[in-house]
Amino acid sequence: MTLQSKTHTATAQAHPNIAFIKYWGNQDNRLRLPANPSLSMNLGDLRTVTTVTFSADLPGDALTVNEQPVVGPGLERVTTVLDLIRQQAGLELPARIESTNNFPAGAGIASSASAFAALSLAGAAAAGLDLDEASLSRLARRGSGSASRSVPGGFCQWLTGSDESSVAVSIAPPEYWDLRDVIVVVSQEHKAIGSTGGHHLAPTSSLQAARVAGVENRLKLCREALLARDLAALGPVIEEDAVIMHGVMMTSHPPLYYWNAATMTVIHATLQWRSEGIPVYFTIDAGPNVHLICEAADAPTVAARAGQLPGVQQIITSGPGGPVRLL
Amino acid sequence: MTLQSKTHTATAQAHPNIAFIKYWGNQDNRLRLPANPSLSMNLGDLRTVTTVTFSADLPGDALTVNEQPVVGPGLERVTTVLDLIRQQAGLELPARIESTNNFPAGAGIASSASAFAALSLAGAAAAGLDLDEASLSRLARRGSGSASRSVPGGFCQWLTGSDESSVAVSIAPPEYWDLRDVIVVVSQEHKAIGSTGGHHLAPTSSLQAARVAGVENRLKLCREALLARDLAALGPVIEEDAVIMHGVMMTSHPPLYYWNAATMTVIHATLQWRSEGIPVYFTIDAGPNVHLICEAADAPTVAARAGQLPGVQQIITSGPGGPVRLL
């Protein structure tokens, strides 16, 4: 077919997301079908821009992230997604993938969600495929589970189900609620065990079944609070859900201790500030950094206070973000 | 009866204990019947000495701890136990209770276990009762659940059951295994919510049922490791059990965050030291302080290293201890 002999390129942008109800553990590790539904907010001020170029001139898939070549497992995950695209498009060309983030590498902000969302759209477009949102979310999921949630815009829920049905859908657009994620960076160390490995360990914790069993209720409370723009209802649920996930992590075999000293400092500070009347709540992903969720009006105060805490290296603030899109 | 008109006094000594398998939550709050069996080591280097004097000259029960008068809830708990003794002895005299600890007050080491074990024996003896170990353990339990484990000697298991059967029994004498508890004191703050209040909150955590369901297996592993003097088998179980309890605490309604920044520092240091070949494991009670469990030979190294960590205020080391006894 003609595509084989030409160069095809496309560029897409996607945002990372912060989960209010966490994804931890899979029903199917290869397909990344999650053990439970999850809910997140795209982070509009943070971006990954990815260009995919299929070209017969390449010896094989070649990946750069922030202009640095990536090989090994990082490249293999990208190739897995591109293979699904090539298969669907009937394409056999290798690809050059150039991905850049506007947020600091190693700041503990997971770039895999935005990276695989952007890769899916850029790759599909470059291959001449016109995929709908559900198909893109499904494709992104195969590279990184949470990437499924970076495909639709705003506040997104990722459904459990089969390979066909486990996709994310937007439950409110980014302008629905002007929340802020004040990201308190307390460590820039590379994680000893990344999320993919962690998901595989989830079933080894004696608390994982209880976590999964409780998600339905927490997700319902979270969704209702979100739709009511009720931070006082949303906050306690996201804190509890995050702590339950870390309880599972710290009791898996082997245990995963993502929290460090500064993580606890920020947790206690958050409780203290709340007792002083500032409506701010924390959530924590698979790492030590703390995400402080508050209304836009309180974000400057929260960011200023967090920046004064011992062990805090950097503060990055983001509001809600839109869907993946072509540039 | 003659006892009514005389002064009767007795003095007893008891040790606090550190739980390897934790007690958290009750089946019956008033009787302090625990939600699950637990297992602990008495701390022989730490002591509470309590003198109980029944006397018609007193206006009512009067308590001093380390020579400071105690009234309110602290005195009421003591009176609850003394009432059980008075009832059994047919005694109606008020009592003076003088209790002293050889470990620093407010160092975050729970004195209620040793205090109620010593109170039970001193009170019973002063009242002319000759109670067996099981009866004393039952009595101590009514003042503080973990006090039941400070009645027998060495390594003790506290059984679930009825008011009659829920007592602690020794499963190995103190000389059976020369372990050390290197207590890393990171905070001397008074706990916002004490253990009694915490036990009442345990059922509000969505993880408590999973914690209780898993205790049987962890207790079996712990007991086998103890009887085999196998620290490499004991350690991971006590760490997991402690973290599970704190997972329950942090997800109760309201949540209880006992860990602070230095707690996490000590946890990570423990993992690091272990990776360097030092066999040491942590456990944490209802507070921020970390108990490092190791063999006697490694205790000086562990204590020296722990003393260098930021946020550490004091190190207290103890070996195994015997049963409550009259002085």
Write down the pLDDT at residue A80.
97
Q: How many CB atoms lie within 10 A of CB B11?
A: 17
The DSSP output letter for A209 is: H
Cβ-count burial of B135 within 10 angstroms (0-12 exposed, 13-18 middle, 19+ buried)? middle
Contacting residues for B76 by C-beta, under 8 A, at least 6 apart: none
| Chain A environment of B310 (Cβ under 8 Å) | 261
The yes-or-no verdict on residue A14 having pLDDT over 70 is yes
Which domain CATH number covers A109?
Answer: 3.30.230.10
Distance from CA of B202 to the nearest CA of A (A): 14
Best to test chain A binding among B201, B207, B221 (most A CBs inside 10 Å):
B207
Q: Are A251 and B259 an interchain contact pair (Cβ–Cβ within 8 Å)?
A: no
pLDDT confidence tier of residue A187, bands split at 50, 70 and 90 = confident
Question: Which residues span the domain enclosing A258?
Answer: 179-318
Q: Which of A243, A261, A268 sits opposite B265 (nearest CB)?
A: A261
**Domain annotation covers residue B325:** no
Q: What is the CA radius of gyration of chain B?
A: 19
**pLDDT-derived band at B221, boundaries 50, 70, 90:** very high
Phi and psi based region of residue B25 (left: phi greater than 0; alpha: psi -120 to 50; beta: remaining):
left
Residue B326 within any structural domain of the chain: no
Higher pLDDT, A112 or B195: A112
B186 and B88 co-located in one domain: no
User: pLDDT tens-digit profile of A258-279?
Assistant: 999 999 999 999 999 999 999 9
For residues B153, B239, B277 and B310, what is the CA-based torsion angle, rounded to 10 degrees? -100
A283: CATH: 3.30.70.890
Distance from CA of A256 to the nearest CA of B (A): 11
CB spacing of A268 vs B255 below 8 angstroms: no
Helices (H), chain B: 73-89, 112-126, 133-143, 195-201, 208-227, 231-250, 261-275, 299-307
Please write the tens of the pLDDT for every residue from A274-324. 999 999 999 999 999 999 999 999 999 999 999 999 999 999 999 999 999
What integer pLDDT is reported at residue A244 of this predicted model? 98
Backbone dihedral angles phi then psi of residue A8, each to the nearest 5 degrees: -130, 130
Distance CA A64, CA B185 (A): 48
To probe the interface with A, which of B264, B268, B272, B290 has the most A CB atoms within 10 Å?
A: B264
Could you give the maximum distance between any two Cα atoms of chain B, in Å? 67
- The dihedral through the CA atoms of B293, B297, B302, B303 has a sign that is positive
Model pLDDT, residue B160: 97
Backbone torsion region of residue A65, taken as left when φ is above 0, otherwise alpha when ψ lies between -120 and 50, otherwise beta: beta
Residues B108 and B199 in one domain: no
Query: What pLDDT, on the 0 to 100 scale, is given for residue A13?
Result: 98
pTM (two decimals): 0.95
Last residue of a domain, one of B152, B173, B194: B173
- Nearest Cα of chain A lies from the Cα of B22 at a distance, in angstroms, of 15
pLDDT-derived band at B195 (thresholds 50, 70, 90) equals confident
Residue A303 is assigned to a structural domain of this protein: yes
Return d(Cα A139, Cα A125) in angstroms, integer. Answer: 13
B143 and B245 both lie in a single domain: no
Q: Which long-range contacts (CB under 8 A, 24 or more apart) does A133-137 make?
A: A133/A167, A133/A169, A133/A323, A134/A167, A134/A169, A136/A324, A137/A167, A137/A168, A137/A169
Q: How far apart are CA A137 and CA A148, in angstroms?
A: 4
Mean pLDDT over all residues of chain A? 95
The reply to whether residue B311 touches residue A261, judged by beta carbons under 8 angstroms, is yes
Query: Are the beta carbons of B86 and B92 closer than 8 angstroms?
Result: yes
Judgement on whether residues B142 and B256 belong to the same structural domain of the protein: no
| Helix%, strand%, coil% for chain B, nearest 5 | 40, 25, 35
User: Do A90 and A152 lie in a common domain?
Assistant: yes
Same domain, A130 and A183: no
Same domain, B193 and B207: yes
From A36's Cα to the closest Cα of chain B, the distance in A is 16
Distance CA A302, CA A297 (A): 10
Residue at A324 is within a domain: no
Q: Which pLDDT score is estimated for A194?
A: 75
Q: Which of B155, B173, B191 is the last residue of a domain?
A: B173
Q: How far is A170 from chain B (nearest CA, A)?
A: 28
Are residues B28 and B96 located together in one domain of the fold?
A: yes
Is the Cβ pair B261, A257 closer than 8 Å? no
Residues B198, B100: one domain? no
Residue B107's pLDDT is: 65
Mean pLDDT of B129-157: 98
Residue B169 sits in the same domain as residue B294: no
At residue A5, the pLDDT reads 54
Comparing C-alpha atoms, which of B327, B223, B324, B252 is closest to residue B16? Answer: B324
What whole-number percentage of chain A has pLDDT above 90? 91
Task: Give a yes or no: residue B324 inside a domain.
Answer: no
Q: Confirm whether A52 is domain-assigned.
A: yes
Strand A8-14 vs strand A48-54: parallel, antiparallel, or unpaired?
antiparallel
Mean pLDDT of chain B: 95
- Beta bridge partners of residue B17, listed in sequence order: B42
Alpha helices of chain A — where are they, by DSSP H?
Answer: 73-89, 112-126, 133-143, 195-201, 208-227, 231-250, 261-275, 299-307
Nearest to B243 among A213, A251, A263 (CB): A251
Residue in A closest to B250 by C-alpha: A243
Residues of chain B whose beta carbon is less than 8 angstroms from a beta carbon of chain A are: 206-207, 209-211, 213-214, 239-240, 243-244, 246-247, 250-251, 255, 257, 259-265, 267-268, 271, 310-311
Contacts of B221 in chain A (CB under 8 A): none
Total domains present in chain A: 2
Tens digits of per-residue pLDDT, B73-106? 999 999 999 999 999 999 999 999 999 999 987 6
How many whole angstroms separate alpha carbon A244 and alpha carbon B298? 34
**What's the confidence (pLDDT) of residue B191?**
67
Name the band, by pLDDT with cuts 50, 70 and 90, for residue B190: low
The percentage of residues in chain B with a pLDDT greater than 70, rounded to a whole number, is 96
Q: What per-residue string of b and e applies to A163-176 under the rule 16 or more CB within 10 Å gives b?
A: eeebbbebebebee
Q: Does A70 map to a domain?
A: yes
Report pLDDT for B26: 97
pLDDT of residue A107: 65
- Domain ends where: A131, A149, A173? A173
Which residues of A fall within a CB distance of 8 Å from B257? 264, 267-268, 271
Q: For residue A160, count CB atoms less than 10 angstroms from its CB and return exposed for 0-12, middle for 13-18, buried for 19 or more.
A: middle
Nearest Cα neighbor of B117 from B171, B47, B32 is B47
Mutation for testing the B interface, residue in A243, A252, A289 having most B CBs under 10 Å: A243
Q: Is the pLDDT of residue A105 over 90?
A: no
Of A188, A224, A229, A178, whose CA–CA distance to A44 is shortest? A178
Give the count of Cβ contacts less than 8 A between chain A and B.
Answer: 78
Q: How confident is the model at residue B260 (pLDDT cuts 50, 70, 90)?
A: very high
Give the mean pLDDT of A67-76. Answer: 95
Q: Give helix B73-89 / helix B133-143 axis angle, nearest 10°.
A: 150
Q: Which residue of chain A comes nearest to B252, CA vs CA? A: A240
Asked if residue B2 is part of any domain, the answer here is: no
Residues A41 and A93 in one domain: yes
The band of A106, judged by pLDDT with boundaries at 50, 70 and 90, is low
Mutating which of A249, A250, A271, A289 best tests the B interface, going by the most B Cβ atoms within 10 A?
Answer: A250
The pLDDT of residue A190 is 64
Instruction: Tell whether ipTM is more than 0.85.
Output: yes
Cross-chain Cβ contact A268/B262 below 8 Å: no
CA A63 – CA A124 distance, rounded (Å) = 16
Mark yes or no for CB contact A264/B268 under 8 Å.
no
Residues A169 and A224 in one domain: no
Chain A residues with CB within 8 Å of chain B CB:
206-207, 209-211, 213-214, 239-240, 243-244, 246-247, 250-251, 255, 257, 259-265, 267-268, 271, 310-311
Question: Measured over all CA atoms, what is the biggest interatomic distance in chain A, rounded to whole angstroms?
Answer: 67
Evaluate if residue A2 carries a pLDDT over 80.
no
Q: Which residues of A touch B211 (CB under 8 A)?
A: 206-207
